[in-house]
Structure 1
């Protein structure tokens, strides 16, 4: 499964978003995480926001299985569970 990743702009991050992605990748080694690209079809899109606004735009990306959003490091386990269910 190919999962596109979209980060917010980082104006008010309350946790290390890159580290959160690394933790997710460590738990889901069989998922191909790539930077989301317009015009490319991803199986799934993961939007990683730095605060509760989670304001990163994502309508320009195409997915087969939808979009998952996170805005806190406590969401890592939920995100991993949801990705595994869709895989």
Structure 2
């Protein structure tokens, strides 16, 4: 008798980008890296709804992206911080993933 594989629980994360008027980081590329690194997370457009967490990706330190009406957890990323805590750029991806998983 074959054992059934345990299905991975996939969490949905809504993503909203800033306008990229003063880009310090490439947020589209960062999102692609996050998608590749996190098979347990499905990233979707924030406008679609139905997500567990909202990820706000700002491409500069200002962090101007406005969160939509949302009652769940937010993870706010700027070019030099995650959830308003300073972070070195080389650690930004791992810190985003940690913050997302911490909120599931």
TM-score range for the pair, normalised by the shorter chain length: 0.7 to 0.9
Shift of 1:46: 0.4
Q: Deviations over 1:12-56 (max 9, x none)?
A: 011111010111111111211001017x34200000001011100
| Matched position secondary structure for 1:37 | helix
Unmatched segments (≥5 aa) in structure 1:
none
- Normalising by structure 2, we get a TM-score of 0.72
Unmatched segments (≥5 aa) in structure 2:
1-10, 81-88
Bigger relative contact order (CA 8 A; separation at least 6): 1
Q: Which of the two has higher C-alpha Rg?
A: 2
Aligned length: 84
1:1-87 map, 5 Å: 1-37=11-47, 40-58=49-67, 60-64=68-72, 66-72=73-79, 74=89, 75-87=92-104
Q: Calculate the aligned-residue CA RMSD, in Å.
A: 1.7
